[in-house]
Amino acid sequence: MKEKIKNSGLLPLTMITHYRCNSHRVSAFVERWHPETNSLHFDFGEMGPTLDDVEQLLGIPTYGLAMHTENKAKDALAEAKRGQAVMFDWLRLYFSDLRQSNTDERVNYCSRASLLYVLGCTLFCDKTGNKVNVAPLALLEDLDRVSQYGWGASALTFLYRQLGQASRRDTEQLRGFLTLLEVHFELLV
């Protein structure tokens, strides 16, 4: 399984799955976000994370195959979904125990579950912090192709969309990979 995770191109994300953001700093980012320009406005000018930042800071693929998840994955995770998301605890409970006697199919299921967990903790965080949308699962079906997708571009697009929504008055919480905003800001200041 470790080899499959390494070959996915998403291994750097496994190192940062439990990072907690500074909520005050994130709130300041939301207040300064301008959806019209997709940038943060500060006294010293505009800024925002770019694809190059994603690539340099996270070390994940930013260019590659387009990500389209309309097809449903056909493995155990898709069958077990509740609505459109699964709980992190459920993923850990059913897919974290690997043994030498496991079949290749079981190893593939566990690898997909592990990658889905990592994506849910990092690039595609939701507001609850305890579940992950199963949409990326379709992209994990062929583990040999995972590294060919532009994960960084999708994460940045998702973050920009979430910042745009959160900057409206009627939104209470923000989704997306907020660590990227914090690290980007710290490097510039």
Query: Quick one: average pLDDT of 58-70?
Result: 78
Q: What is the pLDDT of residue 17?
A: 66
Mean pLDDT across the stretch 29-56?
86
Please tell me the predicted confidence (pLDDT) of residue 151: 92
pLDDT at 43: 86
Q: What is the pLDDT of residues 95-138, one digit of tens each?
A: 888 787 788 898 899 999 999 999 988 888 887 778 888 888 88
Contact 165, 171 (CB under 8 A): yes
Residue 47 is predicted with a pLDDT of: 84
Q: Is the pLDDT of residue 69 over 70?
A: no
For residue 42, CA distances in Å to 32, 144, 176, 184, 185 come to 7, 43, 21, 14, 11
Per-residue pLDDT tens digits for 142-173: 999 999 999 999 889 888 888 888 877 676 66
pTM, full prediction: 0.81
Tokens, residue 95: 């897919």
Residue range 6-33: mean pLDDT, rounded: 81
Amino acid at 20: R
The torsion region of residue 76 among left (phi > 0), alpha (psi -120 to 50) and beta comes to: alpha
Least Cα distance to 167 among 47, 36, 46 occurs for 36
Per-residue pLDDT, 149: 93
Grade residue 140 by pLDDT with cuts at 50, 70 and 90.
very high
What would the mean pLDDT of 72-82 be, rounded to a whole number?
45
The residues facing 47 across adjacent strands are: 40
Helices (H), 38-189: 51-58, 76-80, 88-95, 104-121, 151-166, 178-188
pLDDT, position 18: 63
Structure tokens at 109: 């299921």
Confidence (pLDDT) at 115:
94
Number of structural domains (the chain) is 1
Host domain of residue 59:
2-188
Residue with tokens 């192709």: 145
| CA–CA distance, 62 with 75 (Å, rounded to integer) | 27
